[in-house]
Amino acid sequence: MVNATKVAPGQRSKVPRREYPNPPVHEVVLDVQFHRSLDEKVLRELRGRLAESFPQAEQMNLMQVEMALGPTGQGYQNTLRQFGGWQFKKDGGWILQAGPTSLSLHLVRLGQWPVGPYVGWSVIYPLYLELHAALQELYSPLEPKRAGLRYLNRIAIPLGESVSDWLAFKLQAPKLLHDLYTFHLRQTWARAGEYEDIGATIGLAKIDVGDPAIAAENYGVLLDIDVFNLWVEKAPSYASLPDWFKRAHDVENEVFEGCLTDAIRERFEKP
């Protein structure tokens, strides 16, 4: 499997990491997809292996619908259910989804809108390292084909103001058009800086706010940053995933800062 070499210091400039008291992060996802499938018996035993760190477990099922003809020529539908893995949960908004060909760790900030405490990467990354080590003997032989780090940011923009005045990731349209009603902008880039094994998709969309107090004065915007290896042959090995996620987080941070204006930064600086 081909993996990119680490970029030497100085080959690309880094944006200094800023710690915001009130960041717009609503969900963080660390996701790995594999070439091969984990044996069902081993997958079922994960519940016992992870019971201490993730006490809540819910079985996931894969459903397949088959259409067939009976002896009389009459059509009928048959639904097949197959064990698809586990969804583990624990307090604090943590979700771990363990499937036969995938692993994903989610941190979902409590509430409909990103308010309240946010633990940040300094807590997310060590928990991932624990899970990576605990599951290494099971998932390492399956060989990753895609690794992804995704940040879903929900941002409130004052009613009547243009999203382009608040975010540097611009929406552009002919001057003839007025009163933007909805939007969905999405771009995918194959390479970040000099990293051959890291690309990114940036999405910008209008969303419902959900919180009446915030919705009274603002409309919602989703800034979706997904950092991943675009090419399957550039996927990291299981052993190198911790280093890959660390570099991916640096890239995500730079992309995020590049999408902001000073006006929105000031909002995030307020507790």
Give the pLDDT confidence of 219-271 residue by residue, as tens digits: 999 999 999 999 999 999 999 999 999 999 999 999 999 999 999 999 999 87
Q: Long-range contacts of range 3-10, CB-CB < 8 Å, 24 or more positions apart? A: 3/197, 3/234, 3/235, 3/236, 3/237, 3/240, 4/195, 4/196, 4/197, 4/198, 4/234, 6/243, 6/247, 7/193, 7/194, 7/195
pTM: 0.87
Q: Give the C-alpha separation, 98 to 90, whole Å.
A: 14
Q: Give the C-alpha separation, 40 to 239, whole Å.
A: 23
pLDDT confidence tier of residue 15, bands split at 50, 70 and 90? low
Q: Give the C-alpha separation, 99 to 33, whole Å.
A: 9
pLDDT confidence tier of residue 79, bands split at 50, 70 and 90? low
Specify the pLDDT at position 63: 57
pLDDT above 70 as % of the chain: 86
Q: Which segment of 6-15, 94-103, 120-129, 155-164 scores lowest on mean pLDDT?
A: 6-15
11 pLDDT higher than 50: no
Average pLDDT for 103-115: 90
